[in-house]
Amino acid sequence: MKLEFAAVNEWLGKKMFLLVLVALVMGCLLRVPDSPLVRVLLVALFAYMTFVTSLGTGFKSFIQVLGRPWVPLWALILIHLVTPLIAYSLGNLFFANMPETKLGLLIGAAIPVGVTSVIWTALTQGNIPICLVAVTLDTLIVPVLLPLYYKLIVDQSIIINYASLLIQLILMVTIPSIAGMLFYDWTGGKAAGFSRGIGGVSSKVALFIVILLNASLVAPNVSWSVEIVQMMAVVLLMVAAGYVLGYVGSLCIPNSSRDIMLAMIYSVGMRNISCGLVIAITYFPPAVAIPITLCMLFQQPIAAVIPNLFKYFDERKLRFEERRQRHQRTIYNS
C-alpha cells in the first residue's frame, strides 16, 4: 500500500500542470460562495500542506539557513525592490492613462511572498529551508515595509491592521513548519517517507482544493472585455517576469545549485494574492483589485510549468551530450 501511494504521488507530481489547470477551470465554473467556513478551510489546508512539506527537512537545516540568511535576503531584495520597478514600468508603458490599473500592478508586485512558494519548492525538490526563511523574514518586515512603500509611491498614508494577517501566517506557515521539522528530527528522518507517500498524495489533493476555492472566489470579479484581455496579457507578463527574475537572481549566488535555484524561482515569483486583494479592496477603488485578481489566474499555472521547462532543457542537454560523445567516438574510430 505504501508503494502504491508513492507511485500515485510520483504520478501526480508529473501531472501538476494538468492538476492546476483542472482546478482553475472547476473553480471558475463552480463558483463556491465566500464564507468564514471557506476561509477557515483554506487556512487549514495550507497548514496541512506546509506540515507535510516540512517533513522532508530537519530543524537543524532551517537554523543553519536562518543563521546565514544571505540567499533569502537576496530574494527579498528582488521581491520588494526590483519586482515593483518591473510592475511600475509595465503600468506606465501599457496603462499610462489608467492610474487604478497601474496601482493594482504595483500592489500585486509589492505584497509578501506567497505561502504556496514553500509547497512548490517542495514539489520540485527545491531547498525548503531557504524558502521557509524567506517567508518568515518577509512576515517580519512587511508590516513596516508596505505602509512606507505606499506612502512613497502612492503618496497615501494607510494604516494596515496586520494582526489577522500575522496570525494567519503563523497558523499556515510557522507552527506547521516547525512541527514538521521537529517531527522529522524526532523520527530520525523516517517521517520523510510519509511525505513521499500518502502525505504527498493528500497534500496535492489539498493544493487542488486550495486552487479551486481561490479561483471560485476570484472568478466573479472578472468581467470579460477588450480592456480585461489586454490587462490579462500584461499581468501574465508581470507574473512570468517574477519567476524569471528569481531564476536570474539565483545565477548571481556563488555555488548555486538546482535546489537553491528552485527556491529562488518560487520565492521571488509567488505572491500572497489574498493579502493583496484585502489591501486593494479595503484602501483603494474597486478597479485596483482587478490586476491583483488576474495574478491569481496565472501564478499557479506558471508554477506548474516550471518543472516541465527544467525537464525539457535537461533532456535537450542530455541529447546534445550524447551526440557530442558519438561524434567524438566516430572521429576516434576513423
Domain-located, residue 120: yes
Is residue 328 a part of any domain in this protein?
Answer: no
Q: Rounded to whole angstroms, what are the CA distances from 28 to 36, 62, 117, 128, 297?
A: 20, 38, 23, 31, 10
Residue 73: its pLDDT value, please? 92
Q: Which one-letter DSSP state was computed for residue 95?
A: -
Query: Phi and psi dihedrals of 83, rounded to 5?
Result: -60, -45
The number of CA neighbours under 13 Å toward the Cβ of 235 is 26
Domain that holds residue 243: 2-317
Rounded distance between C-alpha atoms, residue 43 and residue 20, angstroms: 19
Per the domain annotation, does 297 fall within a domain?
yes
* End-to-end CA separation in angstroms for the chain: 54
55 grid coordinates: 517533513
DSSP 35-59: -HHHHHHHHHHHHHHHHHHHTTS-H
Residue 80: name the closest of 98, 56, 107 by CA: 107
Residue 333 lies in a domain: no
In a domain, 205, yes or no: yes
Q: Kindly give the confidence (pLDDT) of every residue in the chain, 334 residues in length, as a single tens digit, with 9 standing for 90 and above.
A: 556 777 887 787 777 778 878 888 888 888 788 788 887 888 888 888 888 877 877 778 778 777 778 999 999 999 988 998 999 899 889 988 888 888 888 888 888 787 788 888 988 888 888 888 888 788 777 767 777 766 666 555 555 556 666 677 677 777 888 888 888 888 887 877 887 788 888 888 888 888 888 778 777 766 777 888 888 899 999 999 999 999 999 999 988 889 999 999 999 999 877 777 767 766 777 778 788 888 878 888 899 899 989 988 888 888 888 787 777 777 766 6
Task: Please check whether residue 325 lies inside any domain of the structure.
Answer: no
Cell numbers given for 141: 518586515
Phi, psi (deg, nearest 5) at residue 271: -125, 155
Query: What pLDDT is recorded for position 160?
Result: 58
Domain CATH for 80: 1.20.1530.20
Domains in the chain, number:
1
Q: Are 50 and 118 in contact (CB under 8 A)?
A: yes
**Count of CA atoms in the C-beta half-sphere (13 A) of 101:** 18
Can you give the pLDDT at residue 159? 57
pLDDT of residue 28: 80
Is 330 part of any domain? no
266-270-276 Cα angle (round to 5)? 165
CB contact at 8 A, 108 and 293: no
C-alpha cell recorded at residue 176? 506547521
Report the distance separating Cα 134 and Cα 264, nearest Å.
9
Alpha helices in the chain (DSSP H): 2-14, 16-30, 36-54, 59-67, 70-77, 83-94, 99-110, 116-123, 128-154, 163-169, 175-186, 192-196, 198-218, 226-251, 258-269, 273-283, 289-333
Distance CA 248, CA 29 (A): 37
Beta bridge partners of 271: 113
Determine the Cα–Cα distance for residues 302 and 275; give it in Å rounded to an integer.
20
Contact (CB, 8 A) for 268 and 241: no
- Does residue 70 lie within any of the structural domains? yes
User: Cα separation of 83 and 138, whole Å?
Assistant: 15
Burial call 278-290: b when 16+ CB within 10 Å, e when fewer: bbbeeebeeebbb
User: What was the pLDDT predicted at 51?
Assistant: 86
